[in-house]
Structure 1
Amino acid sequence: MTDETPLRRPRRRPDVTQLDLVGGPEAVAVTLHEPDPRWPELYREHERRIVAALATTGTRAQVEHIGSTSVPGLAAKPIVDVVVAVEDVTAEEDWLEPLLAAGYLLRVREPGHRLVRTPERDVHVHVYDRGAPAVADYLLLRDHLRRDDADRALYERTKRALLERRWDDMNDYADAKTDVISAIKGRAREAREG
């Protein structure tokens, strides 16, 4: 008789099929703040908090600072965005329950993506499967904006122009930046490959 330790297999199950915006749309005043040296510190604090919470279930995750607050010199809304890549986003018992216990609140459940945030709404944690294209896209954009002064300035000008409008929900504001972000990511891919 041999001693076989079963391998842990992802508990892939059917994912949600539509957006569930917990609490519904929220009117928000989007404001840009000048770069704040506390943003990286806040990220590191939440990185430790997330890793510690997930360790309670043995969940290993990739945790990265993304979004405008991760780009030195870029004005941003004062919300630190974090991306977390887990083995299986549908296995919420492995990662959602520990994050809720650590004080985060569920805000978005949609196919392949969940979002939890702090009650103060100053930290948004985006959760995806490990290897999800969205994670690579976030990192591509972040790294390109850190290196490319012209695209960083274009992105900031775009955000400032959008702030002249009223937004009933932060998701609408995010959607309005899509074309510019897509163009910047296209240039980032070209720069990476060339």
Structure 2
Amino acid sequence: MDETESLNRAIHEDVELFPYNPNWPAMFQGERDRLLHLFPGDFLAIEHIGSTAVPGLSAKPIIDILAGVDSMSGADELMEPLCQAKYATSMEFNASLV
């Protein structure tokens, strides 16, 4: 399945909430470490956001990550490499809604 098909399936899938999983913070930490390894020095901060970041809250089990950069041009330059590393970006998601 290609990334576009995967993204479209995610957009149109039924939403199923799962009980809080205490492993979600560790899963985020693993992704944070991976991003820092793949893109050293590119991010000002990497934060765990969304419902999986709230202890005790039921959630759709997708780890949402917000990564800060120093400029929009820096963000634009990271889009393709992030997608090549199998991340879905909000820009990619928004483009799929058109």
Structures share fold, TM-score greater than 0.5 = yes
Q: Cα distance, 1:99 vs. partner?
A: 1.9
Greater share of residues in strand:
1
Q: Offset of 1:41 from its aligned partner? A: 1.2
In the alignment, what sits opposite 1:12? none
TM (norm. structure 2) is: 0.71
1:93-150 superposed Cα distances (whole Å, 9 cap, x missing partner): 2x223323422244x42xxxx66xxxxxxxxxxxxxxxxxxxxxxxxxxxxxxxxxxx
Q: Residue type matched to 2:87 in 1?
A: Y
Deviation at 1:50, TM superposition (A): 1.1
Give the alignment partner of residue 82 of structure 1, picking from 35, 43, 65. 65
AA in 2 matched with 1:40: P
* Cα offset, 1:89, TM superposition: 2.8
Residue 42 of structure 1: CA displacement? Answer: 0.9
Alignment of 1:21-170 (within 5 A): 26-55=11-40, 58-91=41-74, 92-93=76-77, 95-106=78-89, 108-109=90-91
User: Where do 5+ consecutive residues of structure 1 fail to align?
Assistant: 1-21, 116-170, 172-194
**How many equivalent residue pairs?**
87
Moved over 4 A (4+): 22-25
Instruction: Please say if residues 63 and 82 of structure 1, whose CA atoms lie closer than 8 Å, have aligned partners that are also in contact.
Output: yes
How far apart are the structure 1 equivalents of 2:17 and 2:60?
4
Unmatched tracts of structure 2, length 5 or more: none
Q: Which amino acid aligns with 1:65?
A: H
TM-score (norm 1): 0.39
Q: Which residue of 2 aligns with 1:150?
A: none
User: Which of the pair has more CA radius of gyration?
Assistant: 1
Q: Which has the higher contact order (CA 8 A, sep 6+)?
A: 2
Of Structure 1 and Structure 2, which has the larger fraction of its residues in helix? Answer: 2
Superposed CA RMSD in Å reads 2.5
Query: How big is the shift at 1:38?
Result: 1.4
